[in-house]
Every structure is written in structure tokens, then in C-alpha cells.
Amino acid sequence: MEEGRAERRRRTEAPSCTQGGARRAGIMTDVHRRFLQLLMTHGVLEERGVRRLQKHCYRVHGRTAAVEELEDFINNINSVLESLYIEIKKGATEDDGRPVYALVNLATTPVSKMASDFAENELDLFRKALELIIDSETGFASSTNILNLVDQLKGKKMRKKEAEQVLQKFVQNKWLIEG
């Protein structure tokens, strides 16, 4: 049984390398899998937290080899995730520019829509809120202005009380910040 698993792993894992700008599938070890699972549970993590998480995963799996550079480590995971249209992305917080990492969906498919914690009209509210923020001179939008967007939503209508709760979920999930 164990031999069968090892054989399957050898067949599905190719060495991680870049050749002519094309990224080939990397190797997902238990360290990489644990890291990915923990990142998914955290949602968004600052770079310092991501580095600690990486070291923790190496420690848990008794890996004494030198910890891969974070960029190489994440690129390795991303090369495996590529076919699933998801990726670990690095961004910056809007308020002070601190580097953060999150797992993001790269394609909108019926399956990815079902995977969201938000209904279609809630995601529509988020898109409209982003447009409002981007179009503002300050880079901010008041909650009142965002709540007034409910009349412009497509599909299922939303009451302002519901929109308030959705707005709070956006803040709790760190999709938006209060300022």
C-alpha cells in the first residue's frame, strides 16, 4: 500500500524549475500541504506571520533541512495550484503598505462562485463598494454611501439592514477596513 502511494507521488510530482519562462509543476511535500491548509484557515496573513507559519510547518514535520526562501517556497506551491486557478498572492495593506499574503481565486467559475461565503448580490455590493472607493478622491467611502448602493444591486434585492450585516462581514473577513 505504501509503495503504491510513493509511486503515485513520483508520477504526479515533477521537479520545480523554471525553463524559458514557463513554470513546471513543483513538489508538494507535507510541509507545503500543511502550510497551504493553515494559510487557508487564516485568510490573510502579514509577511512576518507567513514566515513564522513556514518555519512552524518545517518544525512540525521534523524537517531539519534549511528552510526554503519564502518566495521559492510559495512559487513551488503556486506551480502546483496553477491548474486549479488559485494562487498565493502577495499584496500590501492599503493603510500602511505592510506586505500580506492570501490565497486568491484566479478564475470565476460556477464552482468558485459556490465556494464563496457570500451570495451573488453580496459580492455585487462588494464590487460596487470598491468602485465607490476607487472613484473617491480620498480612497475611502463612508458606510452610508456604501449602504445607499443597495438600490443598484442586480438580482436579489437587499434591505439596508442586511447590507449593514454584509458590510460587517466584509470588515471581519478583512475584505474592507474601517477608517
* H or E element, residue 54: helix 47-60
**Residue 44 forms beta bridges with which residues?**
102
Q: Tens digit of pLDDT for each residue in 53-65?
A: 999 999 998 876 5
pLDDT tens profile 86-145: 899 999 887 889 999 998 888 776 656 655 678 888 888 888 888 888 777 777 889 999
Q: How far is Cα 146 from Cα 162, in angstroms, rounded to an integer?
A: 12
Q: What percent of the chain has pLDDT over 70?
A: 79
Domain assignments of the chain as residue spans, ordered by start:
11-105, 116-172
Among 69, 67, 65, 104, residue whose Cα is nearest residue 87 = 104
Domain 116-172 CATH assignment equals 1.10.10.10: yes
Q: What's 67's DSSP letter?
A: P
Q: Please say whether the structural domain 11-105 has been given the CATH code 3.30.1490.20.
A: no
DSSP 92: E
Chain Cα centroid distance, residue 34: 15
